[in-house]
Amino acid sequence: MQHSKKSIGLVVAILFAFSASTTQASDLGWVNLFNGKNLEGWSQKNGTATYRVEGDAIVGKTNEGSPNSFLCTDKLYGDFELKFDVKVDDELNSGVQIRSQTTDGTPAGRVNGPQVEIAINGSAGYIYGEAAGGWMTPDDVRQNHDHFKRGEWNSYHVKAVGAHMMVWVNGELVSDLVDEAKLESHPKGFIGLQVHGIGKGTGPYEVRWRNLKLRDLSNFQSLYNGKNLEGWTTKGNWIAQADGSLLIQPREGENGWQRYDAYIWTNKQYKDFILDLEYVYPPNGNSGVFFRVGDTVDPVKQGIEAQILDTFGDDEALGAHDHGGVISTVGPTKNMSAAPHQWNRMVVQCVGSQLAIELNGEKVVDVDLSETPVKDRPLSGYIGLQDHGQPNNLRFRNIRVLEL
């Protein structure tokens, strides 16, 4: 079939626009909520506090007599991760709303929903129901801590998936909360930057936010249903656990890593994707995450492996066989291994020949595979988890994928 130059040019333009809008391999799904120039994409709700852009930060300033004010994203989010840095005047209490809404859904309605606390009084990172029932973090859990640094920039990491909400402050897990009732009433909503109301004759006070980034998890598909091996193929001893995790427990005499049919493989092949999973290993535990495996009979030569290995506390130079490295390719830039019996989280992103890996919140690999020894590996294939043989009992959970 022949095509006119005009129709070919239209197709090229469409393909270019699509490629420019797709996720790049180095971003691991993170997008900036703040463009660094203006407040485009944000709208103020409630109150008369002011918000301005100053350098690389959004600055909220109190206004005497104003109720709580909120600068809110125009877009709504359900399951997501949020990262930001914040610095607040000592006298001011603040917070960040998640999955929040307004009464009756009107712009002037009262903002309500979960709020991640920002304060110097030891409560930073706990979750409060703003106009939605008060403290969500139980009283017996809400103990004062010193993870929030007075007068400094503080880094927050928030993860909300279903009813499960987690908050880290400066790398320390502060909130680990499951609230089914709040998920029912607030399944999704905007992100809001709060400037708290102040008493008469006080202020003005300021709070600053920067590096506001979000990874939308709403469209990820679960690869493991938490109950059985539906969707997977294996001859290994992979056992569903009551807590929804998946245990690999090699049988007596099952040693070594070259028992490829004992690995567990997805029935479906994946090309460009973000893979998100968690796992826990025993001391000296060894396993791996395989992807783009063209032939599961020979995954080492027909695929790519991200290494799982207990390297916690090691201070030696890192290579491709260390935790987070890519076998035969490149080592991780940093040792991010959790201690044995603690959960690790790995996020793997493949777009074309570009590969990026995030381990426990830190990007440790960003490489163009076409410039490495694995440049001839398939660009599409199965995803798998390695059975490394006795005594490598590992558990995996929250195995999810987003096809790009």
What would the pLDDT profile of 339-389 be if each residue is shown by its tens digit? 999 999 999 999 999 999 999 999 999 999 999 999 999 999 999 999 999
**Domain's final residue, options 181, 216, 251:** 216
For residue 365, how many other CB atoms are within 10 A of its CB?
22
Contact 332, 314 (CB under 8 A): no
Please give the pLDDT value at position 24. 60
196 shares a domain with 59: yes
Asked if residue 19 belongs to a domain, the reply is no
**Domain's final residue, options 195, 216, 237:** 216
For residue 56, how many other CB atoms are within 10 A of its CB?
13
Domain ranges, residue 130: 30-216
**CA-to-CA distance for 235 and 251, rounded, in angstroms?**
11
Is the pLDDT confidence value at 18 over 50? no
Residue with tokens 């539906």: 230
Asked if residue 322 belongs to a domain, the reply is yes
Nearest to 283 by CA among 361, 338, 358: 338
Three-point CA angle 35, 36, 40, nearest 5°: 45
Asked if residue 242 belongs to a domain, the reply is yes
Please give the pLDDT value at position 160. 97
**Confidence band for 402, pLDDT divided at 50, 70 and 90:** very high
Please give the pLDDT value at position 26. 72
pTM for this prediction:
0.87
Please give the pLDDT value at position 208. 98
171 shares a domain with 278: no
What percent of the chain shows pLDDT beyond 70? 94
Is the pLDDT confidence value at 1 over 70? no
**CA-to-CA distance for 398 and 401, rounded, in angstroms?**
10
Is the pLDDT confidence value at 228 over 90? yes
State pLDDT tens for residues 83-117: 999 999 999 999 999 999 999 988 889 999 999 99
Asked if residue 12 belongs to a domain, the reply is no
Contact 97, 115 (CB under 8 A): yes
Nearest to 292 by CA among 334, 212, 350, 237: 350
Nearest to 377 by CA among 305, 310, 314, 278: 305
Is the pLDDT confidence value at 338 over 70? yes
Alpha-carbon 351 to chain mean position: 18
195 shares a domain with 129: yes
**CA-to-CA distance for 179 and 10, rounded, in angstroms?**
50
317 shares a domain with 256: yes
**CA-to-CA distance for 240 and 25, rounded, in angstroms?**
32
Is the pLDDT confidence value at 14 over 80? no
132 shares a domain with 227: no
319 shares a domain with 182: no
3-state secondary structure of 375: coil
- Residue 99 has which token pair? 């999955």
Contacts 24+ apart (CB under 8 A), 127-131: 127/165, 127/167, 127/175, 127/177, 128/95, 129/182, 130/68, 130/95, 130/97, 130/100, 130/194, 131/103
Phi and psi (nearest 5°) for 239? -120, 125
Is the pLDDT confidence value at 9 over 90? no
Asked if residue 329 belongs to a domain, the reply is yes
255 shares a domain with 125: no
Determine if the peptide bond prior to 204 is cis (ω within 30°): yes
Please give the pLDDT value at position 21. 37
Say which CATH number the domain at 110 has. Answer: 2.60.120.560
**Domain's final residue, options 193, 216, 239:** 216
**CA-to-CA distance for 321 and 207, rounded, in angstroms?**
44
**CA-to-CA distance for 391 and 369, rounded, in angstroms?**
32
Q: What is the rounded average pLDDT of the residues 210-238?
A: 97
Contacts 24+ apart (CB under 8 A), 176-182: 177/127, 177/136, 177/137, 179/114, 179/136, 182/114, 182/129, 182/132, 182/136
Asked if residue 71 belongs to a domain, the reply is yes
Please give the pLDDT value at position 23. 52
Total domain count, the chain: 2
Contact 311, 323 (CB under 8 A): yes
**Confidence band for 203, pLDDT divided at 50, 70 and 90:** confident
283 shares a domain with 211: no
242 shares a domain with 180: no
Asked if residue 21 belongs to a domain, the reply is no
136 shares a domain with 156: yes
233 shares a domain with 89: no
Length of the chain: 404
Residue with tokens 């998100």: 276
Please give the pLDDT value at position 13. 38
Asked if residue 315 belongs to a domain, the reply is yes
Is the pLDDT confidence value at 15 over 80? no
Please give the pLDDT value at position 108. 87
105 shares a domain with 71: yes
